[in-house]
Amino acid sequence: MDLNHARRTIREMGWLRSLPSTFCTALLAGSHLRRVGAGEVLFHKEDPAPDVLGLVDGLLYVYSDAGEDGHKLTFVAHPGWWAGSIAIVGGSDRRGTVVARSDSVLLSVPRMHVEALARRDSEAWRHVAANIAANYDSLALLLTAHCHPDPRARLLISLHRLHKFNDGATIFPLTQSELAEMSGLSRNSANRAMRQFVAEGLIETGYGWLRIVDPSDFAAAFDAVRISSGTRALKAG
């Protein structure tokens, strides 16, 4: 994949897909290709953040720093996902660790290019903020999952995050152990809940992958979790 192909591809996915063509063209004009192999670390938490990175092809694992427990898997990113927008706006370091799950192709846009674009285009920071908002929405769901008392709800919320923030993807190269880690569950608790989902026809699983069978049925199951959570919150209040 050459640079022009990568630029054409990524503007049709994820964050850039809904933004004005003029902004996308100007942003990507300053981009360059970055290729990483499976298992390669793109960056560690607290590394300097000189750029934003958009995933064109491949798969990335996103980890948080869990203190004495080490790194915890928090997200699996598909093409169209961008990292680094929070850091370039705030001038801070990286907020997590990202590792390539497979050979991957990314576009790197230097911070200086984004800042120069913002000086020419007063709407640029608003467009960047759209990606930041999506990242915070994803984080809020992660926290909700980890606080929920029901293992089924935790898994549904985690799967919803993968589906919503990966352009509606339905197939995930993810083991049940990794999904359990994302959801803050033991492997046994996650496996019991997953067997129920499979029996109900919501999820299909195989060796190292899982699939949302019908997004509409899955959305209904997720909405039921949201309604029950809201009811409990009202009763607690």
Q: For 71-81, what is the mean pLDDT? A: 93
Largest CA distance in the chain: 56
- pLDDT tens for each residue of 104-126: 999 999 999 999 999 999 899 99
- Burial code (b: 16+ CB inside 10 Å, e: under 16) for 54-82 equals bbbbbbbbbbbeeeeeebbbbbbbbbbbb
Domains identified in the chain, total number: 2
pLDDT of 83: 92
pTM strictly above 0.85: yes
Q: Which of 111, 141, 171 is the last residue of a domain?
A: 141
- Out of 102, 122, 141, a domain closes at 141
Instruction: Give residue-wise pLDDT tens across range 174-229.
Output: 998 999 999 999 999 999 999 999 999 999 999 999 999 999 999 999 888 765 65
Q: Among 117, 141, 165, identify where a domain stops.
A: 141
Domain that holds residue 99: 3-141
For residue 223, the domain's CATH number is 1.10.10.10
What does pLDDT average to over the chain?
A: 90
Are 133 and 184 part of one and the same domain? no
Q: Does residue 133 sit in the same domain as residue 159?
A: no
Tokens of 8: 């054409």
Q: What is the pLDDT of residue 90?
A: 75
pLDDT reported for residue 51 = 93
Q: Are 75 and 57 in contact (CB under 8 A)?
A: no
What is the CATH classification number for the domain harbouring 108? 2.60.120.10
> Mean of the pLDDT values across residues 82-96?
84
Whose tokens are 């850091």? That residue is 87
